[in-house]
Every structure is written in C-alpha cells, then in structure tokens.
C-alpha cells in the first residue's frame, strides 16, 4: 500500500508574514489527524524555508524546496545546494517542475543532475514530468513522459530510486484551471508505473508514489485520488489557501 502524499507548491508567492501564517494554519488544521496516514508537505520560496520549518515543527507536515543545484559548494552565484536545504530542515525538493523546464529553460540533463545530487544529499526528490498541449495533441504524451523519466533518473540504482516520487503534471493543466480528467491522469500514471517496472522491477514500481498535478482543487481531488495509480497530488494555486489545501488533503485520505 502506497501512503498518499499531498504537497503544496507555493511558487513565487507569499511573504515573510503570510508564509508563516499559511504554514501554521495548515499545521494547526491537521494536527494529530493525519499522522501516519498521509505525507503532507509545503514547498515555500527558498527565503522562507527556515521560518516555515519552524512554523510546522512537530506537526507532521514536512517542508520541501522548489529547486536545488547539483554542486555542493563553490563559485555558483545564486544557487542553493542539497546540503544547504537539508541544513535548514527540508525533506523534499522538486526537480524539473514545468515552470523551470519551460520558463527558466532547464534541460533534461540538468534536471537529472539535480535529482541525483538531491538523493546523495539526503533529500527526497519529486521528479516532475509532463507534456505540453501541442505534444499531447500530436500523440506524443508517452514519448515525452518517458524521456523525462529516462533523463531524470538516468543511472540511478534501485536503492536510490526508492527515494524518488514522480509527479505527472501535464503542462496544459498547470495554473490553467483545466484539470486532466481522472481517466487521462490514470492512463499516464499507469504508463509511468509500467515504465518503472521495466526500467527497475515490479516491486519497486509498486512502491514508488506517482502524484498528479495540474489545477487540483478541493472539488476534483477525490475523483483523481480514486484512480488506481494516483497516489497523491501536487497542488499549486489551491495550496495558497489553508482551508482549500486542507480539504484537498482530506479528500486524499
């Protein structure tokens, strides 16, 4: 049985006060209720990580970072290492979010290096994969997802792979209000699980959590979670309101 996992990606939002308020509010609403049943994480901007870690301490809510660099230290102005994230109390890190791939211009190869460095640094990476609308329309969804998987986890041993969560996030559904239907999500999630079984083995493929992301709201979360291969949700906009995010978590239980 895969434990459900719901993560809230705050992107370039909140400030020093509202990030702490949001984190405290999520932690207080969940306190004691979800322990052991579900993994929950909030993913604030880098500069608020430390205060958010303090705000959720001992609530069971984990904290993740939105990005990371693959080098440990040195002349890499503006970058943040896995060790730095670990040092401030991060558990998870997003690798290859579509906004980093398509807005910032990260390559598949860079995403793979970040993911490998995150695992070596003791973080649990969430590898984001997913197609553009034109790729879906051209019938290339599986091809794109397979490429993101292959390059994202390239060369990882099965042991290291067990630290990874996959998030299927069709780019056309992110921040657009246009969610994939539960059936569309299930089809790609099943494809991802088969890919994992072929690249590794069936047991590992059954253990790895595959999240769906793309305009998840409290009113569509349950139908998505009812799909056999949807193990959790990566939530953007709707994670910025504590009550909505908590309703999504409740729907995932």
Q: Directed axis angle between helix 182-199 and helix 218-225, to 10°? A: 50
Of 68, 5, 71, the C-alpha closest to 213 is 5
Q: How many CA atoms lie within 13 A of 160 on its CB side?
A: 16
Beta bridge partners of 127: 95, 166
Q: How far is the CB of 236 from ligand PEP (least distance, A)?
A: 2
Q: Does 64 bind ligand PEP (CB under 6 A)?
A: no
Encoded tokens for 51: 């205060």
The one catalytic residue in 99, 106, 169, 244 is: 169
Nearest to 112 by CA among 130, 91, 127: 127
CB of 239 to ligand PEP, least distance (A): 7
Contact 111, 79 (CB under 8 A): no
Of 108-116, 154-162, 210-218, 245-253, which segment contacts ligand PEP by CB under 6 A?
A: 210-218
Q: Does the footprint of ligand PEP cover residue 214 (CB under 6 A)?
A: yes
d(CA 41, CA 65): 10
Asked if 169 is an active-site residue, the reply is yes
Q: Does the annotation mark 99 as catalytic?
A: no
Q: Which of 9, 151, 165, 227 binds ligand PEP (CB under 6 A)?
A: 9
Which of these ranges, 19-27, 75-83, 109-117, 209-217, lies near ligand PEP under the rule CB under 6 A? 209-217
Place of tokens 């500069």: 47
Encoded one letter per residue, x for contact with ligand PEP by CB under 6 A and - for no contact, window 161-200 reads: --------x----xx-------------------------
Q: Which of residues 115-144 bind ligand PEP (CB under 6 A)?
A: none
Please, are residues 7 and 38 in contact by the beta-carbon 8 Å criterion? Answer: no
Active site residues: 97, 169
Residues that bind ligand PEP (CB under 6 A): 9, 11, 169, 174-175, 213-216, 234-238
């Amino acid at each position: 049985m895969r434990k459900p996992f719901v993560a809230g990606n705050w992107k370039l939002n909140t400030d020093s006060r509202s990030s702490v308020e949001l984190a405290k509010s999520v932690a207080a609403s969940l306190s004691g209720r979800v322990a052991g049943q579900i993994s929950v994480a909030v993913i604030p901007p880098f500069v608020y990580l430390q205060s958010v870690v303090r705000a959720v301490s001992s609530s069971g809510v984990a904290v993740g970072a939105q990005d990371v660099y693959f080098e440990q230290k040195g002349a890499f102005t503006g970058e943040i290492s896995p060790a730095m994230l670990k040092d401030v109390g991060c558990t998870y890190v997003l690798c290859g979010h579509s906004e980093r791939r398509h807005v910032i211009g990260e390559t598949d190869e860079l995403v793979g290096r970040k993911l490998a460095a995150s695992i070596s640094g003791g973080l649990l990476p969430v590898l984001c994969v997913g197609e553009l609308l034109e790729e879906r329309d051209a019938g290339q969804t599986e091809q794109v997802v397979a490429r993101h998987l292959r390059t994202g986890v390239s060369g990882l041993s099965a042991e290291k792979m067990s630290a990874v969560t996959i998030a299927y996030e069709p780019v056309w559904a992110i921040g657009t209000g246009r969610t994939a239907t539960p059936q569309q999500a299930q089809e790609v999630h099943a494809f991802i699980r088969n890919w994992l079984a072929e690249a590794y083995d069936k047991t590992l493929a059954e253990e790895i959590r595959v999240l769906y992301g793309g305009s998840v709201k409290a009113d569509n979360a349950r139908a998505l979670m009812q799909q056999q291969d949807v193990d959790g949700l990566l939530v953007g906009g709707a994670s910025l309101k504590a009550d909505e995010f908590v309703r999504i978590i409740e729907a995932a239980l």
